[in-house]
Amino acid sequence: MLPGFKLSLGLGVFYLSLIVLLPAITLVLQTLEISWDEFVFYLTDPRLIAAFKVTFAAAACASLFNGALGLLLAWILVRYEFPGKKLVDTLVDLPFALPTAVAGLTLSALFAQNGWLGRWLVPLDIKVSYTFIGIVIAMLFTSIPFVVRTLQPVLEDLSLEYEEAAASLGASRSQIFRRIILPHIRPALLIGMALSFVRSLGEFGAVIFIAGNMPYETEVVSLMIFTYIGEYNYPAAAAVAMLILAASLLLLLVIQVIQSYYGRRHRKI
Amino acid sequence: MHTYIPRKPDRTGKVLVGLGLFFVVTLLVLPLVLIFFSAFRSGWQLFTSNLMDSDMISAIKLTLLVAVLTVPVNLVFGTLIAWCVTKFQFFGKKLIIALIDTPYAISPVVAGLCYLLLYGNQGLIGGWLDDYGIQVIFAWPGIVLVTIFVTSPYVARELIPLMESQGNDEEEAAILLGASGWAMFRRITLPNIKWALLYGTVLTTARAVGEFGSVAVISGSIRGQTNTLPLHVQLLQQDYNSVGAFTAALLLASIALLTLILKTIFEYLQNKKHTTPA
């Protein structure tokens, strides 16, 4: 009925093929050229396995922390009135707007042993810059907005009546939280944390500034790929890239499933 | 529809708000303050001499060139794709939406690798272009292409939910009344999506200017030639020129702050527009 269908579809498909599909297919083709033995050889490099462990562990820590922090921030932004609320709401998006290199540079200076925050951690014998904790901090910083932004609309929808009913029936605050609020927000919380995890798996710019990049200890997978590329070892880079890409896509698929399951259940009510 | 009306925090609420503000200050405000402090730490003169350094100037110029070429492309195609998937029902629509979102799922370094393989000398397109003496990799065209990829979802993603919620009625009425396609778009659609479109553009610009990982792979970071501003931050830090690194960081952080301010304004205007008629 409306005009422009053929034009927009044609140009859109052309653009997406050229910009997204073709480069992605090139990566798949490059991976297919690798023999199975080579593939196993690349992926069993102990240095790479160590990098995988570090990356997954740090991304898990970062998304768990973001789950808690995101819940706290979304909660206070939806439920309470306080001075500076609008500013906090705006600042939550800062990690998306700030270039990752700037985030990495700044966080590593902030948490260095003579840094504004790092110096308070020295007496506690906690080192952040150039350690595993540094990687976690960089990852959690760059993915702070995900949980807050997925939870906010869900919390806004949560009607107060259920909580009031529960309270009038004698439920304690922790019971109300566990029995009423948590089941309602759980899918959104999981989705936010999964998005934060996916983002953290691939994070490069922010991490390399603060990680110290010691092989076997504080080296992440994206840096390994970057190193392979620098050595012109494209097959190894493609093999590892394929693996990380598959992991990310699998997680996004899980998110889709959670979303559609939740959507269906939600409509039934 | 029930919306919660926020109220003054009680005692538990005060503790929660305090805790939230503590994290916002340490993780979000303090880094910003540190950038400004570190750039000006050794005085105004060192800041300006770092700013006027020839490598810094060429990094700024290259970054602006990348943004100027990237943003219009993604603005036009993002709008076209949003139009196509929100106004029509057709087979394969889900696939198109999935393709728009793909760059979100691809890590920057992997994105850089894909473009390196495609446009490198042995690549599908790169080999062909090489015969004509056109160099994409380790040169500005490669940086532009990979930046287009990384920032391709933002305009479409801003527009799709909004255009979906607005439906087709107004446009259909315009067509029935005899408006041409272009007149309909300019007089009906564009005013409806104006602020979201502007925010999508601002976001695309901010991401294009700040892209690091994929550009690091594709550019080769040749000082004074293929060094964008974010890459220059790293280079200066490796040179132990902390003031210089933070000077470049300050420029980038200012763009980020401007983005946040514009976002707040555009959202306010879009909501106002969205709620006043009816």
- Identify whether residues B14 and B93 lie together within a single domain: no
Neighbours of A70 (CB within 10 A): 27
* Residue B233 at interface with chain A, using a CB cutoff of 8 Å: yes
- Identify whether residues B102 and B215 lie together within a single domain: yes
- Identify whether residues B136 and B154 lie together within a single domain: yes
Close Cβ partners of A138 (under 8 Å, ≥ 6 residues apart): A103, A104, A107, A203, A206, A207, A209, A210, A211
Interchain CB contacts (distance < 8 Å): A and B = 277
> What are the backbone dihedrals phi and psi of residue A80, each rounded to the nearest 5 degrees, phi first?
-120, 155
Report which of B111, B183, B195, B182 is spatially closest to residue B147, judged by C-alpha positions.
B111
- Residue B121: pLDDT band (50, 70, 90) is confident
Number of folded domains that form chain B = 2
Q: Quick one: pLDDT at residue B2?
A: 47
Q: Quick one: pLDDT at residue B96?
A: 93
CATH assignment of the domain containing B169: 1.10.3720.10
- Identify whether residues B23 and B147 lie together within a single domain: no
Q: Quick one: pLDDT at residue B223?
A: 76
Cα Rg of chain B, angstroms: 23
Residue B71 backbone class (left: φ over 0; alpha: ψ -120 to 50; beta: rest): alpha
The stretch B135-149 carries a mean pLDDT of: 94
- Identify whether residues B32 and B168 lie together within a single domain: no
- Mean pLDDT, chain B, integer: 91
Chain A residue closest to B27 (CA)? Answer: A141
Chain B residue closest to A101 (CA)? Answer: B230
Q: Quick one: pLDDT at residue A268?
A: 40
- Identify whether residues B253 and B133 lie together within a single domain: yes
Q: Give which of A98, A160, A226 to mutate to test B binding, by max B Cβ within 10 Å.
A: A98
- Identify whether residues B268 and B254 lie together within a single domain: yes
The stretch A116-126 carries a mean pLDDT of: 90
Contact A205 B212 (CB under 8 A): yes
- Identify whether residues B97 and B4 lie together within a single domain: no
The stretch A18-36 carries a mean pLDDT of: 93
Nearest to A93 among B7, B20, B263 (CB): B263
Q: What pLDDT, in 10s, does the model give residues A211-259?
A: 988 899 999 999 999 999 999 999 999 999 999 999 888 988 888 888 7
Q: Quick one: pLDDT at residue A267?
A: 45
Contact A90 B4 (CB under 8 A): no
All structural domains of chain A: 34-268 (1.10.3720.10)
- Residue B276: pLDDT band (50, 70, 90) is low
Q: What angle do CA A205, A208, A209 make, to 5 degrees?
A: 90
Half-sphere exposure of A190 (CA within 13 A, CB side): 16
Contact B110 A107 (CB under 8 A): no
Q: Quick one: pLDDT at residue B70?
A: 97
Which chain A residues are Cβ-neighbours of B21 within 8 angstroms? 82, 84, 88
Q: Quick one: pLDDT at residue B5?
A: 66
Report which of B231, B143, B221, B149 is spatially closest to residue A27, judged by C-alpha positions.
B149
Which chain A residues are Cβ-neighbours of B4 within 8 angstroms? 78-79, 155-156, 158-160
- Which H or E element spans position A71? helix A46-79
Contact B230 A204 (CB under 8 A): no
- Identify whether residues B27 and B63 lie together within a single domain: no
Q: Is the pLDDT of residue B134 over 50?
A: yes
Longest dimension (CA), chain B: 72
- Residue B11: pLDDT band (50, 70, 90) is confident
Nearest to B31 among A2, A106, A173 (CB): A106
Q: Give which of B60, B116, B117 to mutate to test A binding, by max A Cβ within 10 Å.
A: B117
- Identify whether residues B259 and B134 lie together within a single domain: yes
Whole-prediction pTM value? 0.92
Range of the domain at B242: 44-275
Which chain A residues are Cβ-neighbours of B2 within 8 angstroms? 157, 159-161
Chain B residue closest to A195 (CA)? Answer: B105
Contact A204 B107 (CB under 8 A): yes
Q: Is the separation of the CB atoms in B150 and B108 below 8 Å?
A: yes
Which chain A residues are Cβ-neighbours of B83 within 8 angstroms? 4, 8
- Identify whether residues B102 and B36 lie together within a single domain: no
Which chain A residues are Cβ-neighbours of B24 within 8 angstroms? 73, 88, 91-92
Contact A109 B102 (CB under 8 A): no
Q: How far is A266 from chain B (nearest CA, A)?
A: 14
Counted residue by residue, chain A has a size of: 269
Chain A residue closest to B238 (CA)? Answer: A209
Nearest to B233 among A97, A102, A157 (CB): A102
Which chain B residues are Cβ-neighbours of A98 within 8 angstroms? 210, 252-253, 256
- Identify whether residues B26 and B126 lie together within a single domain: no
Q: What pLDDT, in 10s, does the model give residues A53-109?
A: 999 999 999 999 999 999 999 999 999 999 999 999 999 999 999 999 999 999 999
Which chain B residues are Cβ-neighbours of A7 within 8 angstroms? 80
CA B86, CA B34: separation in Å to the nearest integer? 44
